[in-house]
Amino acid sequence: MASDTYNSGSANWNSGSFAGNVLFEVWGGGGSCGNNAHDKHAAGGGGGGAYSAKVVTVTASTDYAYSVGAGGPTPGTGGPTPGTDGGDSYWISATDVMAKGGSKGGAVDEVSNPGGAGGLAASGYGTVKFSGGSGGSGAVNGKSSSGGGGGSSAGSASNGNNGGNGGDTGAATAGGAAVTGGGAGGNSGTQVGPINPQDGAAPGGGGGGLAHTCASGGSGGAGRCRVTYPAPGRIARSMVGLFSN
């Protein structure tokens, strides 16, 4: 059994001499945090990317397209402006095997400072699908505000974990812990220090939320595309005949 993994870009995988059942897996990119120009407020974290997988029967010497969703870039300082959604990842086409990227953290609104939603399994395509964790909200009107933690991406067997909500403690807020096969959400930034937020880990972790005095950070982790061939026997037996192309 062999596998090929792609962490950026769009191109083709060629099956070469192999013909039979392969397992296509995809993780959406993580969303980035929002930012703010307001003292005493901090931004929400980005949402983690979703996961989708499907067994497909391929023919020899044939190209199969893939596209890896990018992580949302940090919005930097200033604002208030929202972050950027993570990109969707797919195999073959966006309606064959596809996982949604995580949503961006919102701009600081001085009311809720919302985090981004995780990529939804229901919006993807595949036989096995899981949702990313949501980013936590940023602290509101605190003297030692911290941002929300980024949501972790979904893994191969479970949904991602949500990031924590920011508080007025001066301590960074934890991002969602990584699940098997997924990427962790970034820890938040905080006004005290200051501490810059962490970027989400690949594949697909959401970026931690910026605090007012942070200089940078909070990007989402890039998505991922992976093909395993031949498909692992247990997975192939459960999917082939019902879901293969």
- What whole-number distance in Å separates Cα of residue 19 and Cα of residue 87? 30
For residue 210, what are the β-bridge partners? none
How much is the pLDDT for 235? 52
Domain that holds residue 152: 1-245
Does residue 100 contact residue 28 with C-beta atoms inside 8 Å? yes
Read off the pLDDT of residues 148-198 as tens digits, 9 standing for 90 and up. 999 999 999 999 999 999 999 889 999 999 999 999 999 999 988 889 999
Per-residue pLDDT, 194:
86
Q: How far is the C-alpha of 200 from the C-alpha of 191, rounded, in Å?
A: 20
- Does residue 16 contact residue 69 with C-beta atoms inside 8 Å? no
Report which DSSP code applies to 109. Answer: -
User: What secondary structure letter does DSSP report for 121?
Assistant: G
Integer CA distances (angstroms), 62 to 3, 13, 181, 240, in order: 16, 8, 28, 20
Domain count, the chain: 1
3-state secondary structure of 206: coil
Q: What is the pLDDT along the chain (245 residues), one digit of tens a residue?
A: 899 999 999 999 999 999 999 999 999 999 999 887 677 889 999 999 999 999 999 999 999 999 999 999 988 777 788 899 999 999 999 999 999 999 999 888 778 889 999 999 999 999 999 999 999 999 988 888 899 999 999 999 999 999 999 999 889 999 999 999 999 999 999 988 889 999 999 999 999 998 877 778 899 999 999 999 998 865 554 554 333 33
Please tell me the distance from the alpha carbon of residue 106 to that of residue 140, in angstroms, as a whole number.
13
pLDDT for res 30 = 98
